[in-house]
Structure 1
Amino acid sequence: MTRKLLIFDLDETLVHASPVRLAQAADFICGPYFVYQRPYLHALLMTMQPLYDMAVWSSSSRAYVDAVVAQVFGSEFELKFAWSVEHCVQRVDVRSNGYVYLKDLRKVQGQGYAVEDITILDDSPEKIARQPRNHFRVKPYLGQLDDRELLLVAEELRRRQA
Structure 2
Amino acid sequence: MTLTVDGTPIELRRATAADLPALVGLLADDPLGATRESADGDLSPYRRAFALLDADPAHLLVTAVDGDALVGTLQLTFLPGLARRGALRGQIEAVRVAAGARGHGLGAAMIGWAVEEARRRGCGLVQLTTDKSRADAHRFYEELGFVASHEGMKLQLAGSS
Superposition TM-score, scaled by structure 2 size: 0.29
